[in-house]
Amino acid sequence: MRTTRRASLASLTAVAALAVPALVVGGTGTASAQVASKTAAAEAQCTGFTNVSVGGGWYLHVPSVGSGTGNYNCVVVRGMNGISVLVVQESLNACFGQGIAEDRDFGGNTEQAVKNAQSQINRNWGSHVLDVDGRFGPKTSAKFLFQAYDYSNGQNGRHTGYCYGR
């Protein structure tokens, strides 16, 4: 009986090992799913944003795992699309003068804009604090400047033109 269980367990493990990549990459065939298979196991995709108060009814939209979680240990990388990409694109334009399309699609222009921002952050800090790799991950997020949105006095999230670190 033990031999049968071991063989069954080994068989199930082998099947699971083959099935998991197919579920991650196959399913919808979206670019985001493909990116998920390429990111490290310890990194999660940013799928939403968290409002971070800077006072006076102003908030930063910071990419996070889910919406409102405050978990910034995630990445926004080439091939992804959605609200977390838009949040990065808006801040790249407002805070780093990149002039890219705010289209929710992390393509080559957004990747280059992130590299430009990472280089600018390194210059501002006067040292190499970030790798210039075009990946918006936890280290970049910690040093990044985000567009502030005004939710006071009925402004409903109007862009302020001001940028802050989280």
Q: How far apart are CA 86 and CA 54, in angstroms?
A: 20
- How many residues are there in the chain? 166
Residue 48's beta-bridge partner residues? 64
Helix (H, G, I), strand (E, B) or coil at 96: helix
Q: How far apart are CA 134 and CA 139, in angstroms?
A: 12
**CATH, domain range 39-165:** 1.10.101.10
**All structural domains of the chain with their residue ranges:** 1-29, 39-165
Q: Which two tokens stand for residue 141?
A: 């997020």
What pLDDT is recorded for position 42? 62
Q: Mean pLDDT per 10-residue run, the chain (166 residues)?
A: 36 36 35 46 87 95 95 97 97 97 98 98 96 98 97 85 94
State the DSSP H helix or E strand holding residue 40, giving kind and residue range, or none if neither.
none
Residue 45's beta-bridge partner residues? 75
R_g (Cα) of the chain, nearest Å? 20
